[in-house]
Amino acid sequence: MTSVRGPVRPDGTPIDKDAVRRRYLEERDKRLRADGNDQYLRLTGELAGYLTDPYTPRVERAPRTDHVTFAFIGGGFAGLVTGARLKEAGVRDVRIVEKGGDVGGTWYWNRYPGAQCDTASLIYMPLLEETGYMPSEKYAHAPEILEHCQRIGKHFGLYDDALFHTEVTDLAWDDERSVWIVRTDRGDAFTAQFLAMGTGPLHVPKLPGIPGITDFRGHSFHTSRWDYDYTGGDPFGAPLEKLADKRVAIIGTGATAVQCVPHLAAACGELYVFQRTPSSVDVRDNAPLDPEWFASIATPGWQQRWLENFTATSTGNGTGEDLVMDGWTDLARRMRSRIAALPPEQLTPEGMRAAFEDADFEKMEEIRARVDAIVADRETADGLKAWYRQLCKRPCFHDEYLDAFNRPSTHLVHTDGKGVERITETAVVANGRAYEVDCIIYASGFEVGTEYTRRAGYDVTGRDGVRLSEHWADGMRTKHGIHVHGFPNLFVVQPTQGANLISNVPHNLTESGRTIAAVVRHALDVGAAAVEVTAEAEQAWVDLLLTHPGTMLSSPDCTPGYYNNEGQDAGPRARLNVGYPAGAAAYFSYLDGWRSSGTYEGLMFR
Ligand code: NDP
């Protein structure tokens, strides 16, 4: 029997797999808490001020009571790409309703210093080919992505009818007139023949439920509402010059903190980074894109080819060249080469799972070795090492984050899974010590595991008065993650129950946008007032999803976080938070066939 090489460290020594597995479980156990998602605070009441938009003043306007063909809730990538495809399909009036002061969604709100996309711009930024735009860098920075959102909005005329600084309060289907009635916090009560929701999974900021959080008398803000008036600098990278004499605490070390800590470290008098769980921080390796090279690859259909190549490669289904070559595809490449080395008798599901785990052991050893290579102080370096499988928490990629801890003014406060104990009028308390600070920056993330209706801020009342929260009481039910039985002319734009591709969310959205535009065009062409998925077709899709083996993202062995419902059993409903069982690449190809056939199997046009 052929023997397979066991996983090794970067220096070639063998990895003791049992010891690492034990360490992973020990570290997970330190972080398990009984209160799960309830440990976080909603930004209501006296905390509502944390939600104020610091970027655009709110302008008063008269309520709308008119009618549009299509209304889209959310002006981020989902609304923009769907709106663009609808316009291309000849739908003239598409109204975006957006709580921010402009289009952009996550890129409207997240303007913290260093904000940057973690997926290569050429596949992350949608509609590059349609708008004729070349991103300036392999991983574009936030201002460029926001500008691209505005470019899409202008190019496709999506500003014409948009309502900004407007939050939906109620959506109700009027079966007699076959329209949706859209009510908002601006007193609007307009109708739309078709309606889509693309509010994104990460748009409601949350704070950690730390005792005393409201006692703090210094300055504080959440990273998604960055206060440049206080810090100085700007989203384009100008130094945060007003922090030179300030003692600043940042709470949280997720993907956001990893990007803004280097900027804070360069600017603050003293910076305290309060860490509960370290992120895995792999190589970024950003570089400007070369226009000559871009011209050579940007032949017709290039972005779709790149999207498909990345999806196949990053999900382990690539067969040829890896066009994107980044951290997301690296793990898949390693896994593939390990699987290719398996002798035929080990080409079993268990054999492949073991090959995946071995590739992961090696990857994480490299990431931990990188900390040792960059961070001079041993205790700090040890604190920054992530002890879990790479996809247990959101993987991060950065070339300056670890080095920031070599500055004498930057201090890691590693709480070893316990988190911040308390906040007083003047200090952040952790590990029994009070750190006196002038400012607290909460890099504490966004609501994820909460009810969809709670995050959206409204419920949806469909045919026969049934609410979406009721229809989904036992878990999400859709066809393709888009169509919901009992909710005619409504489309949901998000990845779950579709491709569920997390490494490049926009690919999910662009495919949904294309599909919705095709369905709406067909409905208009055949003069149908309404289109709805049948109960049987929805059930058949749910049954298909239930054949999915489940994802590692929700593994209880993982260290807690929003990927696994803070380590708590999410109940049987979570069983439906999966994608097409055959994988993302297969789903996109299936969806293309479904759409192009023109029969829209499972939908009823009336
Ligand atoms: P996260 O939810 O990832 O991180 C929140 C941080 O706050 C964690 O480090 C968490 O620790 C910490 N925390 C929570 N409670 C406490 C406490 N009581 N004491 C100390 N620390 C605490 O939020 P982010 O804003 O960083 O990222 C959210 C998501 O947004 C990312 O996962 C990613 O999907 C997306 N994002 C994408 C980017 C991109 O593509 N460029 C950039 C930034 C974000 P613990 O881990 O222990 O829970």
Q: Give residue 201's pLDDT.
A: 82
pLDDT tops 90 at residue 276: yes
pLDDT tens track for 85-102: 999 999 999 999 999 999
Question: Kind of pairing, strands 439-442 and 219-222?
Answer: parallel
Cβ neighbors of 17 (< 8 A, separation 6 or more) are 6, 7, 357, 358, 361
Q: Give residue 1's pLDDT.
A: 46
Confidence of residue 551 (pLDDT cuts 50, 70, 90): low
Is-contact 81 200, C-beta < 8 A? no
- A 10 A CB-CB count for 541 gives 21
CA separation, residue 95 to residues 83, 101, 182, 190 (Å): 8, 15, 11, 11
Residue 443 φ/ψ, nearest 5 degrees: -100, 55
- Go through 552-568 and write b for each residue having 16 or more CB atoms within 10 A of its CB, e for each that does not: bbbbeebbbbbbbbbbb
CB of residue 142 inside a 6 A radius of ligand 1: no
Strand blocks (E) in 156-213: 168-174, 179-184, 189-197, 207-208
Q: What is the mean pLDDT of the chain?
A: 94
pLDDT tops 60 at residue 2: no
pLDDT tops 90 at residue 197: yes
Tell me how far apart the alpha carbons of residues 82 and 197 are, in angstroms, rounded to a whole number.
10
Confidence of residue 420 (pLDDT cuts 50, 70, 90): very high
pLDDT tens track for 309-346: 999 998 878 778 899 988 888 878 888 888 888 888 88
pLDDT tops 90 at residue 55: yes
Confidence of residue 3 (pLDDT cuts 50, 70, 90): low
Q: What is the pTM of this model?
A: 0.95
pLDDT tens track for 148-190: 999 999 999 999 999 999 999 999 999 999 999 999 999 999 9
CB of residue 380 inside a 6 A radius of ligand 1: no
DSSP class of 546: T
Distance 545 CA to ligand 1 centre (A): 29
Q: Tell me which residue of 103, 33, 109 sits closest to 72, measured CA to CA.
A: 103
Tell me how far apart the alpha carbons of residues 490 and 511 are, in angstroms, rounded to a whole number.
16
Amino acid at 602: G
| Lowest-confidence segment of 83-92, 196-205, 433-442, 539-548 by average pLDDT | 196-205
Residue nearest atom 13 of ligand 1, based on CA coordinates = 252
Q: Give residue 418's pLDDT.
A: 95
Tell me how far apart the alpha carbons of residues 210 and 201 are, in angstroms, rounded to a whole number.
24
Candidate ranges 36-45, 314-323, 395-404; pick with highest mean pLDDT: 395-404
Q: What is the average per-residue pLDDT within 123-136?
A: 97
Question: For residue 271, is it left (φ>0), alpha (ψ between -120 and 50) or beta?
Answer: beta
Pocket test for ligand 1, best of 27, 253, 421, 565 (most atoms within 8 A of CB): 253
Q: Give residue 154's pLDDT.
A: 98
C-alpha of 458 from chain center: 21
Residue nearest atom 25 of ligand 1, based on CA coordinates = 445
Is-contact 578 572, C-beta < 8 A? no
Tell me how far apart the alpha carbons of residues 595 and 564 are, in angstroms, rounded to a whole number.
33
- DSSP conformation letters of 235-302: TT----GGGTT-EEEEE--SHHHHHHHHHHHHH-SEEEEEESSPPPEE-----BPPHHHHHHH--TTH
Tell me how far apart the alpha carbons of residues 488 and 180 are, in angstroms, rounded to a whole number.
9
pLDDT tops 70 at residue 552: no
Query: What ligand 1 atom has the least distance to the C-alpha of 276?
Result: 47
